Structure 1
Amino acid sequence: MGSAERGHSAGRGARRTSLFEALAGRIMLASGWRRALLAALSGAIATLGLPPFDIPLAGFIAFPVLVWLLDGLGRDPGAGALKRFAAPFAIGWTFGFGYFVAGLWWLGAALLVDAGSFAWFLPFAVLGLPAILAIFFGLAAALARLVWSDSAWRILGLASAFALAEWGRGFVLTGFPWNEIGLIALSHPVLVQSVSLMGLQGITLLAVLIFSTPAILSDRRGRWPVAALALALVVGQIGYGIWRLDAHPPSASETVAIRIVQPNIRQSLKWNAQEAERNFEKLLELTAMRPAPGEDVVDSETPADDRRTLIVWPETAFPFVLTDRPDALNRLADTLQPGETLIGGAVRVERSEADRARFYNSIYVIDDQGTIVEAADKLHLVPFGEYLPFQDLLESWGVSNLVQMPGGFSAGASRRAVELAGAPSFLPLICYEIIFPDEITLEDPAPGFILNVTNDAWYGETPGPYQHLRMAQVTAVALGLPLIRAANTGISVVDDALGRERSGLGLGATGTIDLALPTETIDTPYRRHGALLFWGLWCVFTLLSVVFRLDLRPRID
């Protein structure tokens, strides 16, 4: 059933309909609040494909319902342009609202850390932000209807429209590409490998097509070619993933070890002045831990002078401005052993002659003498979390940042690989800037690994940290670099360049990870050419949609 015209006659015609066709017909005939409820529920169901649930089957339920709802609009040549836009927009927006409320409700947990100051903002975070993000899905549905046809090929137009919308969501108003639809299709390392070819946006394009395929299985026109295309894409993704994982066995350094420190400090205590010294002592104690004798993580025959250990603390780990505390640097010098380097998240301060301070969310590199030898600043800041858009106006209304820094954080000037003595260089990505791979440019020679420090303590034991981890892993695979990730409360991991987890600490755990540094880096097509393959596929999908919408195809089906 490719259109509402066939849907309205389903069950009444001479041909006997199946239960599947009857269900499609009932969904197409839905209107009013029933249509809105179906759209919202299907969007919410789609989030079951995201971490931590990882049930891709949810996509095969959600998107057929969306297709059938759009089919139910039929064609009304007499309708004005506004009505032709508004009806599919409403369906897409409601689908998106269900998707983002169910997928992002945990953002409200950050506001409850200091409920007295921010609880009033809860409705905006839990409902307002999803309402804004849903606009992209509404535009996608309206755009898809422009090339809607009565053949199975219409789902290529839906895939093109949603991929374009998700691309826009990545940069409009600084961008928030959290939980892009393609993530639903990346529940296993085998499936993730295709991002090295086309990035997450390319996966989104293919995922919407594949997930929508059940909706066209009862169509009379084009169902077998489209179904065969979807099946070929699934087989290709799985086959490519298996081949790639087999072609690149794990490898590790014989001289460079990693120790990730996960202190598991609750957000309510993280910036408590009375807890600062205790938090710092906890970090030092975990840092001083050593593998038991005989449990060397690098080649035991390597001379001690040639070994290096990189100790990684999470985002804003130091509970004070480190440069104002020479005693703390002395404590670090006493704790670090020869050959150990600490890389930790910190608040960096620049003070001008007028004693005006600018604060940066940064990473410090500190050698075994307690000397700060390098620093890198965060570039992509979180609106309302690290800086306040339209600050003067909003502060006059009583709105403030979640992170209480005078004037908020300032963005860094540029991103570059950080060089290390006796170890590979690394690409510093602080917190959620790792979910913006389009903003990352790697120069030759590429760094040896991505270092991602984050503080997901804001969100407690909710789906948020699991989603954040998956997006970090997808970016690392797309760029072909190992991922070293330190999170305050979890989830901390060491992954190789293909997203295989070598070791990790779960959410809410306290401890350390000791492991040899994964060494292999891979020059991926995505790293080299960006989203070029995605845009090529997008043009093909869009062109085919237009051809079948205008009925320009050869008479072969």
Structure 2
Amino acid sequence: MTLFWTPSRERVISLPSRMMAAIAAGGVAVLTLPPFSILPLVPVAYATLLVLLRHLPVAKAALVGWAFGLGQFGFGLSWIAESFYVDAERFGAMAIPAVAGLSAGLAMFPAVAAALFAGVARRRAIGGVTACLVFATCWTAAEWLRGHVLTGFPWNLAGYALVDYAALRQPAAWVGSFGLSFLVILVGTLPAQALLAEVRPRWSISLLGVGIVVATWSAGVARLQLEPSSPPGLDLRIVQGNVPQQEKWAPENREATLTRYLDLSTLPGPVDILLWPETAFPGFLDEDVEARSRIAAALPDGSLLLTGVPDRVSTEEGTRYFNTVQTFDQTGVILTGYAKHRLVPFGEYVPFKGWLPIERMTEGLGDFTAGPGPRTLAFPGVPLVAVAICYEIIFPGHVVDGLFRPDWIFNATNDAWFGTSIGPEQHLASARMRAVEEGLPVVRAANTGISAIIDANGDLVARLGTGETGVIDAALPFTYPPTLYARFGDRTLLALIFVTWAVGLAAGLGGTHRHNKKTRTEAKSCW
């Protein structure tokens, strides 16, 4: 006996109605993510989508998946509009069209997941747990593609629904954030199949969902009990200057900005490493002797400053500009630096510049040039550090140099573009997941917030919220040995997908065999 939701009733629901429901479900999916993190809404969002896709041909399924993505990204990325109003006169009119266009483009990935699922489902006539396994695999594959196609944009992955739940996020150390997405989607869609199943299978499906949750939680608890390495005893000071983006690059404000950072940096307290955010100094610091002298004089004995600054280099082809983190000691000389290698399209450079008559949104004399890639910086008496500038921290498996493992990650960023929206909270969630995946603490310096110190379990040791001016003084947290994900990256996800397909196909064949056996038995009874 099935419940009220029968195939005959499903088929009378029009495609526009399905798409409207999918848009709403996509919006609900955002509420499962930070800063909301309403975990019970996971099945509401994804089980609804799975039900809406039932019995649809591939093309219509793609439209429903696209509608889900439109709701998901339209709501989840609405904060991007704020960046256009920083210079409203030049860019304000582009805010809504830009967010709408980006959301419509990114929605193609849920569309691909839905179409792939519909194609497999119609070809093999799958149902029950097998349908959930296949759907979770298709969704995870589409998320992985979103993180890698063109420049990639793995923002608001489904697995981030677990960020605020300490034990549940720990399996990212083994399977990464994409693996967590697989688990979230699998568990989130099982209620749909339980609702649609007959009484006996309904209980087994429900127990499977509970079992996955318990196993995930238990594995996470076990990892939280691991003995970490002893903290290195390094005293950090993060400076959050809280300089409004509208004022930051005005030449008449440069002196006030530098004075603010120096005043905060010289507050009483022990400091080994001083950390300023992305482009904290609004100019070319390596060319400003006076500014470097003032910084050097403010540094405590034996301490270092890591600060975000723009840089430029003259070449035969012209001047090249870089978004960098540079390191200074008390001599005022640059010890070493790191150049950002993942640049923000239209923010730091204009793709297809010869074809698109569009200005980039950040101040400067020219487009930025990408650096060579992840790099580990070494200083005498200081634990090795990897640097990720701004949104580089959102890329799973692409933050740390795999050949030269660091002891911690410094994330210098400037979220002043996005005010007090949900954007900085979502950005912080990505940083917390990188800490779990790599087994390394992440230290985050943001111009207007959210600055934070994150331990290797993804816990927030300290934070300064958006719009606050101040410092964070804390010791560098512990580290773990290289995690499974740190060693093998997304190969662990690939293994998970292959295993899932094997299990799903086996379950599907088993179901077909039982159905055929039942049919033969009923046929014999008729004789």
User: TM-score, normalised to structure 1's length?
Assistant: 0.87
| Residues 213-224 of structure 1 aligned to structure 2 (within 5 Å) | 213-218=190-195, 219-220=197-198, 222-224=201-203
| Residues 292-331 of structure 1 aligned to structure 2 (within 5 Å) | 309-331=272-294
Partner residue, 1:477: 436
Whether 1:270 and 2:270 are equivalent positions in the alignment is no
Whether 1:345 and 2:308 are equivalent positions in the alignment is yes
Query: Could you tell me how far 1:508 is from its partner in structure 2?
Result: 1.3
2:322 maps to which of 349, 356, 360: 360
Query: Could you tell me how far 1:263 is from its partner in structure 2?
Result: 0.6
Query: Could you tell me how far 1:26 is from its partner in structure 2?
Result: 6.4
Q: 2:388 touches 2:399 (CA, 8 Å); kept in 1?
A: no
Quick one: which amino acid aligns to residue 323 of structure 2?
N
Partner residue, 1:212: 189
1:317-364 per-position Cα deviation (integer Å, ceiling 9, x unaligned): 11111122100011112111211110000001101367x311100001
Quick one: which amino acid aligns to residue 283 of structure 2?
F
Q: C-alpha distance in 2, partners of 1:515/1:447?
A: 19
Give unpaired runs (5+ residues) of structure 2: 519-527
- Percent identical residues: 36
Quick one: which amino acid aligns to residue 176 of structure 1?
F
| Residues 186-205 of structure 1 aligned to structure 2 (within 5 Å) | 186-205=163-182
**Following TM superposition, where does structure 1 have runs of at least 4 consecutive aligned residues deviating by more than 6 angstroms?**
23-28
Partner residue, 1:260: 238
2:349 maps to which of 344, 369, 387: 387
Whether 1:240 and 2:219 are equivalent positions in the alignment is yes
Partner residue, 1:11: none
- Give the aligned length: 510
1:442-471 per-position Cα deviation (integer Å, ceiling 9, x unaligned): 345521100000000000000100000000
Q: C-alpha distance in 1, partners of 2:7/2:78?
A: 30
Whether 1:90 and 2:63 are equivalent positions in the alignment is yes
Q: C-alpha distance in 2, partners of 1:481/1:273?
A: 38
Query: Could you tell me how far 1:70 is from its partner in structure 2?
Result: 1.1
Query: Could you tell me how far 1:410 is from its partner in structure 2?
Result: 0.4
1:4-50 per-position Cα deviation (integer Å, ceiling 9, x unaligned): xxxxxxxxxxx584xxx459986664213321110100110110011
| Residues 506-517 of structure 1 aligned to structure 2 (within 5 Å) | 506-517=465-476
| Residues 30-179 of structure 1 aligned to structure 2 (within 5 Å) | 30-73=13-56, 84-148=57-121, 149-179=126-156
Quick one: which amino acid aligns to residue 53 of structure 1?
F
RMSD: 2.2
Q: 1:153 touches 1:226 (CA, 8 Å); kept in 2?
A: no
Q: 1:70 touches 1:145 (CA, 8 Å); kept in 2?
A: yes
Q: C-alpha distance in 2, partners of 1:412/1:539?
A: 35
| Residues 428-439 of structure 1 aligned to structure 2 (within 5 Å) | 428-439=387-398
Larger deviation: 487-496 or 512-521? 512-521
Query: Could you tell me how far 1:119 is from its partner in structure 2?
Result: 1.7
Aligned partner of residue 253 in structure 1, secondary structure: coil
| Residues 392-403 of structure 1 aligned to structure 2 (within 5 Å) | 392-394=354-356, 397=357, 399-403=358-362
Query: Could you tell me how far 1:386 is from its partner in structure 2?
Result: 0.5
Q: 1:270 touches 1:276 (CA, 8 Å); kept in 2?
A: yes
1:555 maps to which of 502, 508, 514: 514
Go from structure 1 to structure 2 and tell me whether the alpha carbon gap of 1:458 and 1:314 turns closer, same or farther (over 3 Å shift). same
Partner residue, 2:370: 411
Query: Could you tell me how far 1:222 is from its partner in structure 2?
Result: 4.7
Quick one: which amino acid aligns to residue 252 of structure 1?
P
Query: Could you tell me how far 1:180 is from its partner in structure 2?
Result: 1.1
Give unpaired runs (5+ residues) of structure 1: 1-14, 74-83, 297-307
Larger deviation: 416-425 or 434-443? 434-443
Quick one: which amino acid aligns to residue 413 of structure 1?
P
Q: C-alpha distance in 1, partners of 2:427/2:478?
A: 24
Q: C-alpha distance in 2, partners of 1:482/1:69?
A: 41
Partner residue, 1:532: 491
Q: 2:376 touches 2:404 (CA, 8 Å); kept in 1?
A: no
Q: 2:109 touches 2:143 (CA, 8 Å); kept in 1?
A: yes
Q: C-alpha distance in 2, partners of 1:442/1:321?
A: 27
Q: C-alpha distance in 2, partners of 1:130/1:103?
A: 9
Q: C-alpha distance in 2, partners of 1:145/1:25?
A: 18
1:138-182 per-position Cα deviation (integer Å, ceiling 9, x unaligned): 110010112222334211111010000001001111111111111
Quick one: which amino acid aligns to residue 487 of structure 2?
R
Go from structure 1 to structure 2 and tell me whether the alpha carbon gap of 1:414 and 1:46 turns closer, same or farther (over 3 Å shift). closer
Go from structure 1 to structure 2 and tell me whether the alpha carbon gap of 1:26 and 1:503 turns closer, same or farther (over 3 Å shift). farther
Whether 1:499 and 2:458 are equivalent positions in the alignment is yes
Quick one: which amino acid aligns to residue 153 of structure 1?
T
2:267 maps to which of 289, 298, 303: 289
Larger deviation: 93-102 or 122-131? 122-131
Q: C-alpha distance in 2, partners of 1:445/1:378?
A: 18
Aligned partner of residue 408 in structure 1, secondary structure: coil
Q: C-alpha distance in 2, partners of 1:505/1:250?
A: 26
| Residues 8-19 of structure 1 aligned to structure 2 (within 5 Å) | 17=3
Q: C-alpha distance in 1, partners of 2:183/2:2?
A: 33
Go from structure 1 to structure 2 and tell me whether the alpha carbon gap of 1:544 and 1:242 turns closer, same or farther (over 3 Å shift). closer
Q: 2:397 touches 2:486 (CA, 8 Å); kept in 1?
A: no
Q: C-alpha distance in 2, partners of 1:185/1:28?
A: 34
1:368-405 per-position Cα deviation (integer Å, ceiling 9, x unaligned): 222211111000101111111011221xx3x1111133
Q: 1:47 touches 1:58 (CA, 8 Å); kept in 2?
A: no
Q: 2:136 touches 2:185 (CA, 8 Å); kept in 1?
A: yes
